[in-house]
Each structure stands twice: as structure tokens, then as C-alpha cells.
Amino acid sequence: MNHGDTEDTEEKRKARAARRITRLRVLCASVVKLSLLLVAFAIPPARAAEPVKIGVLLPFSGPFADFGRQIGNGMALYLKQHGDVVAGRKIELVRRDSEGAKPDLAKRLAQELITRDKVDFLAGFGLTPEALAVAPLATEAKTPMVIMNAATSVITSKSPYIVRFSFTLSQIVSPLGDWAAKNGIKRVYVAVADYAPGYEAEAAFAKSFTAGGGTIVGSVHIPINTLEFAAYVQHIKDVAPQGVFLFVPSGEQPIAFMKSFVALGLVRQGVKLLGGTEIIDETVIDTLGDQALGVISAQNYSVAHLSTENKKFLADWAAAFGPKPEPNFMAVAGYDGMHAIAEVIENLDGRIDPDRAMAEFKKIGFLSARGPIAIDPETRDLVESVYIRKVARVGGALVNQEIFEFPRVGPDGRAE
């Protein structure tokens, strides 16, 4: 080892040490940059504090305004009970009035909610035409769309971003046809609204009712904006069926139909009125009074449902909005739909990605005020109980008393 070698090694050592320090500095700077990048792209601090926006599209005015009140209150009640912050993010409901069966308006409002308000979810949808008009926008923008009433089966197949927390018409009406045929009703006249849900209700009822040995003795399609039912009811009286299967959207129409049905003496003649809950839901029953006694309907929810969950739901509803009007099947769908959205946000830790959100929706299942519900991952529709109910006076009040339960009914109306 000579002197020159030693000096050379000393210099090399110094150079090596300097290089190490530089490398360390570069490494530290990279780690800092990487952390900043991770923070910026994965969990942006500003974003984390931003609200999760839910665009709520419902009829809040016009003949279907009650849909907006019931579903809107159902959503609001869930947030009131559980708080409006989920996974550190505030939930903001951006409400828009779709005014009823106006597909062009629904489409325009949904477009604005997506592009201008930048909503993370779309929710609501009272009527089938609104939901069908908005489905392509949900696909294009990849915005999860949570249906809280519109009930034509085909809706969920129109976009992979749709999930439904209400029911399908086949799901409710098939069990009713089956039950009617098995309970001594053999000759039925069918009167349905002249749009997609009406046609589905007619086909589903006829299929299960005739399979059980019943006969359809006549049918009519009724425009969804008429309140003049006397001519339809007179014709039904002339045909003299044993029962009438009726589907018209909940609200003003069932009340107007029932008035003619009573006034023209069909109740006195003993003609049985059968339908989905629309003909006699909680908003209709009190208006009709005793004329409603004996009406048979099928649905996934009744105020009279006996369970701890429903007792709490009704008590909290009354505390929030007063006891009347009572919540109907739409209120429960709004409440459960909001519950599901909150669970999805929680499971995603507040970071909303549409495809991951849809994967989470497919796993949803819980005990609702209506009974157990679970999303069928294939159709993104619910599997739930369907109850046959009869209007009765219980403790002085008119209620839809549950008289039979079809458990775990799938969206096609068959038991799973």
C-alpha cells in the first residue's frame, strides 16, 4: 500500500460519502414528493372535506307531488336519525322537481345535475317514464342511479349503473293473481293505466291468475291523467265480474276510481277490488273511509306491519313530520334507498368510484321496516316479502291488515 494509494482512497471515501448524502437528499425529496402525490391523487384533502352530492329527481308538484313528499321525507328521516356525515363527508341532497310523467324534463334536469352540480349519485324517480329517460345518462356519465319507486321491470336492464329499492310490478302482482285464484275469485276484469307499468301489471296478473284456474273476462287501458272513471266503471258493472284487478299510479286516480266504484254500486253488489298497494295506500285509505273496507291489495309494506323495525320507523316518522299523512311504500323505499347509499359511501371510505359503488350496492341486504330485503346482484333489484292485505278497522283506524305473506319474492314475481 503506497502513499499515493492512501490519498487516492481518502478522496474516494470523501466522494463516496458526498454521493451518499446527495442520494439520501434525492431519496428524501422523492419520498416527500411521492407522499404529496399520493395525498393529492388518492385522498385529496380538499375533496375529503367536500360533500357527497345526491341529485334527487322527484315530482314535488302536480298530480304526483305526493311521490316527492313521501320519498323525500323517507330520505330526510334516515339522515335525521343517523346524521348527515358519512365517512367524514357531508351528504348534500340537491332536489329537483320532475313534475310527474315528463321524460324530457327529467332528462334535462338529470343532465344539469350531472354536468353542472356534479352529483355523485342520482336518486328518486317516481314514474317509469322519468327513469327510462335518464338511464342512458347514468351509463354515459357512470353515475349510480338509485330508483326509489318507478317499477317497470325493464328499468334496471337499461343501465348497469341502476339499482332499485322499491319493487317491480311483476314482483307484487304475480303473487296477487296466484292468491286470488286460490281464494275463490275466478272471474276478473282488468283495468290498468295506459303506460308501461300498466301493461306489465296486466300481463303479470293474467299469467298467475289464469295459471291458478281464473278467467279474465275483459280489460281496459286508462289514460294516466284522467280523473273521469264513471264510464269505465259502468262498463265493468255491465260485464258483472266477480272481481276487478286495478293498477293506476298512487295518488288522485285510485281515489277517483273508488268513488265511481262505490257510487255505481259495485261494492254493494259484492264485486271485489284487487290491486297493487296503489289503489289503497296509506295516503288513499283515510280519504275513502269505510268505503275502503274489504279492498284486497298486495305490496311490500304496510303501516300495519308488525315488527320492531316498523314500530321505530313509525314513531320516528311521526316525531319528524307528524302522524298524518302516514308513510307509505314509497316513503320506505326512500328511507331504505338512502340507507343503502350511506352504507355504500361508508364502505368506500368516502371515496366515491362509480364502479366500486355499484359493486357495493350489489352486496346490500338488511332488515327494513317492510321486512328483510336484499339486492339480487344479477338484476340489481330487491328480493323481498310480498304481503296480501285487506282493509280492516283495527282499534278504530282503517289499516291494510296483512293476511298472507309470500316470503323472498324475486323481481320476476317468483319465490327465490
63 grid coordinates: 298530480
- Which residue's CB is nearer to ligand PHB, number 249 or number 411? 249
- Taking Cα atoms as reference points, which of 378, 361, 332, 376 lies closest to residue 148? 332
Given the rule CB under 6 A, which of 31-39, 45-53, 149-157, 215-223 is the region that contacts ligand PHB?
Answer: 149-157
**Residue 118 DSSP class:** -
Q: Cβ(384)–Cβ(373) under 8 Å?
A: yes
Applying CB under 6 A, which of residues 70, 73, 98, 152 lies at the interface with ligand PHB? 152
Minimum CB distance to ligand PHB, residue 371 (Å):
19
156 lies in the site for ligand PHB, by CB under 6 A = no
52 lies in the site for ligand PHB, by CB under 6 A = no
Given the rule CB under 6 A, which of 133-141, 148-156, 257-265, 334-342 is the region that contacts ligand PHB?
Answer: 148-156
Helix spans in 293-328 (H): 308-321
Binding pattern for the stretch 177-216 against ligand PHB, x by CB under 6 A and - elsewhere: --------------------x-------------------
Given the rule CB under 6 A, which of 31-39, 147-155, 259-267, 355-363 is the region that contacts ligand PHB?
Answer: 147-155
Binding pattern for the stretch 269-288 against ligand PHB, x by CB under 6 A and - elsewhere: ---------x----------
Element housing 38 (H / E): helix 3-41
Rounded to whole angstroms, the Cα distance separating 130 from 58 reads: 9
Grid cell 482512497 is found at 9
229 grid coordinates: 272513471
Minimum CB distance to ligand PHB, residue 212 (Å):
24
Applying CB under 6 A, which of residues 57, 122, 123, 127 lies at the interface with ligand PHB? 127
Q: Which positions ≥6 away from 18 have C-beta within 8 Å? A: none
Q: Cβ(241)–Cβ(189) under 8 Å?
A: yes
- Taking Cα atoms as reference points, which of 361, 369, 298, 359 lies closest to residue 81? 369
Applying CB under 6 A, which of residues 124, 214, 241, 249 lies at the interface with ligand PHB? 249
- Which residue's CB is nearer to ligand PHB, number 224 or number 383? 224
Grid cell 277490488 is found at 273
51: left (phi over 0), alpha (psi -120 to 50) or beta: beta
Applying CB under 6 A, which of residues 159, 208, 250, 385 lies at the interface with ligand PHB? 250
Minimum CB distance to ligand PHB, residue 262 (Å):
21
Interacting residue ranges for ligand PHB, rule: CB under 6 A: 127-128, 149-152, 197, 249-250, 278
